[in-house]
Amino acid sequence: MKQFEANFDGLVGPTHNYAGLSFGNVASSQNATAPSNPKAAALQGLKKAKALADLGLVQGIIAPQERPDVYTLRQLGFSGTDAQVLEKAAKTSPQWLQACASASSMWTANAATVSPSADTSDGKVHFTPANLVDKFHRSIEADTTSRILQAMFYDKRHFKHHAPLPMHANLGDEGAANHTRLCQQYDESGVEIFVYGQSALNPSMPKPQKYPARQTLEASQAIARLHGVDDDCSVFIQQNPQVIDQGVFHNDVIAVGNQNVLLFHEQAFFDREAKLQELQNKFDGELHLIKVPSSKVSVADAVKTYLFNTQIVTLPSGEMAIIAPTDCEEHVGVKAYLDELVELGTPIKQVLYFDVKQSMQNGGGPACLRLRVAMNEQELNAVNSQVLLNDERYQILTKWVERHYRDRLLPQDLADPQLLMETRTALDELTHILKLGSIYPFQR
Ligand SMILES: N=C(N)NCCC[C@H](NC(=O)CCC(=O)O)C(=O)O
């Protein structure tokens, strides 16, 4: 039977802006208040997605969320018409307005954790939307994410949707950004690597000192239980707290895997050797563990260029390619490492560079922008086909962005009631294009 690993990229929303909302994410802090270009951001993302579809990969799209989120602002006591809610929030508490206007759902690696059917006890593909509790602006994504995923993967014979974990810091969950699955073939049972930043309940385990550890061990364990991924198929690894303190706020900023390849920085993991041994013991067959030493690429350069926030994809030929941001190509040392990597004799044979700078300036590289779902042919046939990217849908979405998106946005523009109207008009049209039904609050 055919098997696939589909990538579902987040379509960047019309309010994409730089608000400095993510303490611990260096790019987000550094670019706070810079003008953004939502149109360019969405087109950059679509271009990358289309290029992967053109390489013969299965590529889908995940719709953005309704922002500004006036419903949350109302919960915070801002009242009146929608325009008045925006105006009052802007006047007295611009931080709340910014948090409620972020287009952060574009980083769909944080949308959910997904376990393919070959790994789960009931033979279904399992989804748990991430609660993202560590950052307020992201914690308001989970409900709509749930609805969107259920509209895409609606067939209950194949897909099982869980509720997000309870909204508490002890169960902080950041989704697939801290989850990597290794396997021989996508439809064969693999080993799921759950990487966490700290344990909420065991005070003797190390913690970062400066920046937050967003994912807890307890959240990762709960997800493995919910998905029915047993001990033989899972490894729980703690992120090195020292790299979190250097800006590695998710594991996908310091490690990336695909099939039998794991590319990671030597400082990525705590208790590294024992954990890699456990991984090797549980993995059936040859495993390529590619360790990048600090002498070749420092943690700071990894954070700056997002060398590890690359996508490793398997091409129809069976060879693997790395999908990297142009920021890697522009950095002499990182470019030299990537040139060397394709000659190492591992399955990775080529590097393709993409400009996703609008997203990078908020700390989101190519891997942040996609949610991976490994499926067999039957499961893929059960996906809402309108969300899959082909030539026609790419053209339609490109025109949709060009028609509805602004090319410049500053934090003060977020209170413009016209922006809310533009967004709702655009999203209403999008739900028809992608056949998602009434997923947004304004449509209900
Ligand atoms: N590594 C992965 N998978 N995802 C990247 C997420 C970036 C996102 N940035 C933001 O939310 C910044 C928003 C702002 O500052 O305007 C975050 O920190 O959660």
Residue nearest to atom 5 of ligand 1 (CA): 364
Q: Per DSSP, what are the bridge partners of residue 323? A: 311, 352
Give catalytic residue positions: 174, 250, 368
254 near 308, Cβ under 8 Å? yes
Task: Give the pLDDT score at 444.
Answer: 87
Q: Whose CA is nearest to atom 18 of ligand 1?
A: 22
Strand partners, 125: 159
The pLDDT score that the predictor gives to residue 350 is: 98
If one counts every other C-beta atom within 10 angstroms of the C-beta of residue 78, the result is: 22
Distance 102 CA to ligand 1 centre (A): 10
Pocket test for ligand 1, best of 308, 362, 372 (most atoms within 8 A of CB): 362
190 in a labelled binding site: no
Q: Which two tokens mark 217?
A: 């061990």
Q: Which residues contact 305 (CB under 8 A, 6 or more apart)?
A: 325, 327, 328, 330, 331, 334
Atom of ligand 1 nearest to the CA of 177: 3
**Helical axes 391-404 vs 417-433, angle rounded to 10°:** 170
**Is 26 annotated as contributing to ligand binding?**
yes
Q: Which residue matches tokens 């959240």?
A: 219
- Under a CB-based contact definition with an 8 Å cutoff, are residues 268 and 294 in contact? no
Instruction: Judge whether 115 and 26 are in contact, CB under 8 Å.
Output: no
Pocket test for ligand 1, best of 368, 371, 409 (most atoms within 8 A of CB): 368
Give the C-alpha separation, 150 to 317, whole Å.
Answer: 32
Domains of the chain: 3-67+102-443 (3.75.10.20)
Find out whether the beta carbon of 259 lies less than 6 Å from any atom of ligand 1. no
Buried b / exposed e along 341-376 (16+ C-beta atoms within 10 A)? bbeeebbbbebbbbebebbbbbbbbbbbbbbbbbbb
Tokens for 83, please give them: 């325009």
Task: Tell whether 17 is in a known binding site.
Answer: no
- Which atom, in ligand 1's list, is nearest to the CA of 102? 16
User: Does the beta carbon of 18 sit less than 6 angstroms from any atom of ligand 1?
Assistant: yes
ipTM, two decimals: 0.99
252: annotated binding-site residue?
Answer: yes
With a 6 Å cutoff on the Cβ, whether 374 touches ligand 1 is no
Nearest CA to ligand 1 atom 3: 368
What's the CA gap between 258 and 176, in Å, rounded? 13
Task: Give the position of tokens 């067999």.
Answer: 376
Please, which residues have CB within 8 angstroms of residue 351's CB and are 6 or more apart in sequence? 321, 322, 324, 328, 338, 339, 341, 342
116 alpha carbon to ligand 1 midpoint, in Å? 25
**Which residue's C-alpha comes closest to atom 17 of ligand 1?**
22
Query: Does 362 contact ligand 1 (Cβ within 6 A)?
Result: yes
Of 12, 17, 25, which is best to mutate to test ligand 1, by the most ligand atoms within 8 angstroms of its C-beta? 25
Write out the chain's pLDDT in tens, 444 residues. 699 999 999 999 999 999 999 999 999 999 999 999 999 999 999 999 999 999 999 999 999 999 999 999 999 999 999 999 999 999 999 999 999 999 999 999 999 999 999 999 999 999 999 999 999 999 999 999 999 999 999 999 999 999 999 999 999 999 999 999 999 999 999 999 999 999 999 999 999 999 999 999 999 999 999 999 999 999 999 999 999 999 999 999 999 999 999 999 999 999 999 999 999 999 999 999 999 999 999 999 999 999 999 999 999 999 999 999 999 999 999 999 999 999 999 999 999 999 999 999 999 999 999 999 999 999 999 999 999 999 999 999 999 999 999 999 999 999 999 999 999 999 999 999 999 999 999 998
Q: Is 70 in the pocket of ligand 1 (CB under 6 A)?
A: no
7 is in an annotated binding site: no
Query: How remote is the CA of residue 91 from the centroid of ligand 1, in Å?
Result: 25
Q: Distance between CA 335 and CA 329 in Å, rounded?
A: 5
Annotated ligand binding at 31? The verdict is: no
Please tell me the distance from the alpha carbon of residue 417 to that of residue 97, in angstroms, as a whole number: 12
Long-range contacts of 146-149 (CB under 8 A, 24+ apart): 147/439, 148/62, 148/63, 148/436, 148/439, 149/62, 149/111, 149/112
25 ligand 1 Cβ < 6 A: yes
Residue bearing the CA closest to ligand 1, atom 6: 364
Cβ distance 228 to 126 under 8 Å? yes
